Amino acid sequence: MKILVVGSGGREHAIALAVSKSPKCSELICAPGNPGMANLGKCFPVDVADPKAIADLAQAEHVDLAIIGPEIPLVAGVVDEFRARGLRAFGPTAGAAALEGSKAFSKDIMKKYNVPTAAYETFTDLASAKKFLAEHPAPIVVKASGLAAGKGAVVCMTDAEANEAIEEMLGEKAIFGESGKTVVIEEFMEGEEASIFVVCDGKDYVILTSAQDHKRVFDDDKGPNTGGMGAYAPAPVVTDELLAEVKAKIIEPTLKGMAAEGKPYTGVLYVGIMVTSKGPKVVEYNCRLGDPECQIVLPLYDGDVLELFDAAEKGEIAKLGTPKPPKGSAAIIVLASAGYPGSYEKGKVVTGIDAAEAKGVSVLHAGTKMADGKLVTNGGRVFGVVASGATLQDALDTAYAGAAEVKFDGVFYRKDIGKKGLARLAK
């Protein structure tokens, strides 16, 4: 099969790497790709926000299956565009991707199908939202309903913060534009967070594994939120017992609900949960693999990732039989540019990738480019250093040994990835 991987981050590099290892893949192309992906297949420039342009490329290149990495093309309807042209793309339709594209929609689905989540109300005008806040003191969570590049959820520990957040979204500033013109205000949930990745074909599903991301920029969860500074999988907080509860109370009702709504879910459903004292509750759904979680979730799959995505797109997951549980653990350390997630410099020359890979890691590109024949930094999150191991400790040791080898001016990374998981395993 000729495969097109759409996207340009570490997640898409990981997808391309997994696909390139499949005996079913005869040719791989990427759009727009990155310098790491360019080592695996030819890269084509494309605007990922433009479903027609992506489908045009797939048609011109006679692609058998496109795998869509980011949420923007999915929410914009790239899968619908492919299907309308008789082309194949792995991912949810726009109607199903609304589980991520509209928090108001996803909360309504959860309510209708009794999926445990934080209590909430939806608002489109400032006065009603303010009145609600006056009656519901902090801590409380204010969320822009639409896509906001991971920045749309504000956990407010004071009433002043909550009022400021709704002013910014529903007031004149409208900092999230259309995405913030509908706001969900929800109950603050306490607990440990984890993510669960589910590959769905509209009827059946396969759970890949659980994982835990590290969103804050500094050690011990200090500093501002980022796109993710590292992750490990599986997450020990997700015990077999908890996973059974997540299946019965969250995954199955969600998938049945979406089918009943006439929006059967195909693609990856990313379920973000909070493990509360009252059991697991949904924090959010995403319509895609996580970044950086994808980079560790795919290597743990004990099978052919392309075969799985291909079967899911065809509605044939049941034909694959029962998947084996993941063997061992995996970890990723994100190498970032000084200043991230605020402003940072680009164009710093990178060295040490071969030395890192000699330690047994994969160095996945997230924000790099080639300039005058040299690999240079081109983003806040520059690389993800990935390792697998028999245990979480082994995976972390190898990943950190590799991370120490990659050099560029201003490189920094968290030194405590996996700490919560190790503490739980020690108990």
- CA-CA-CA-CA torsion sign (403, 404, 407, 413): positive
Nearest to 28 by CA among 38, 81, 36: 38
**Mask of contacts with ligand GLY, 195-214, x by CB under 6 A?**
------------------x-
Specify the stretch interacting with ligand AMP by CB under 6 A; choose among 85-93, 183-191, 236-244, 260-268. Answer: 183-191
Q: Is 81 in the site for ligand AMP (CB under 6 A)?
A: no
Q: How far is the CB of 12 from ligand GLY (least distance, A)?
A: 12
Q: Is 313 in the site for ligand GLY (CB under 6 A)?
A: no
Specify the stretch interacting with ligand AMP by CB under 6 A; choose among 1-9, 180-188, 371-379, 399-407. Answer: 180-188
**Mask of contacts with ligand GLY, 133-152, x by CB under 6 A?**
-----------------x--
Among residues 291, 304, 310, 313, the one that binds ligand GLY under rule CB under 6 A: 291
Q: Is 228 in the site for ligand GLY (CB under 6 A)?
A: yes
The Cβ of residue 321 has, within 10 Å, a number of other Cβ atoms equal to 8
Instruction: Calculate the alpha carbon distances from 17 to 315, 324, 395 in Å.
Output: 24, 21, 19
Among residues 286, 329, 362, 377, the one that binds ligand GLY under rule CB under 6 A: 286
Q: Which two tokens stand for residue 38?
A: 């360019």
Q: How far is the CB of 334 from ligand GLY (least distance, A)?
A: 10
Q: Which two tokens stand for residue 321?
A: 């039989």
Q: In sequence order, what are the beta bridge partners of 206?
A: 199
Ranked by CB distance to ligand GLY, the top (closest) residue is 290
**DSSP-derived 3-state class of residue 360:** coil
C-alpha–C-alpha distance, residues 405 and 359, integer Å: 9
Torsion of the alpha carbons at 14, 20, 25 and 31, rounded to the nearest 10: 60
293 binds, among ligand GLY, ligand AMP, none (CB under 5 to 8 A by kind): ligand GLY
Half-sphere exposure of 317 (CA within 13 A, CB side): 22
Size of the site for ligand GLY (CB under 6 A): 7
The Cβ of residue 222 has, within 10 Å, a number of other Cβ atoms equal to 9
Q: Which two tokens stand for residue 57?
A: 């490329």
Q: Is 282 in the site for ligand AMP (CB under 6 A)?
A: no
Q: Which positions touch ligand GLY (CB under 6 A)?
A: 150, 213, 228, 286, 290-291, 293
Q: Which positions touch ligand AMP (CB under 6 A)?
A: 118, 141, 143, 153, 155, 186-189, 193, 272, 283-284
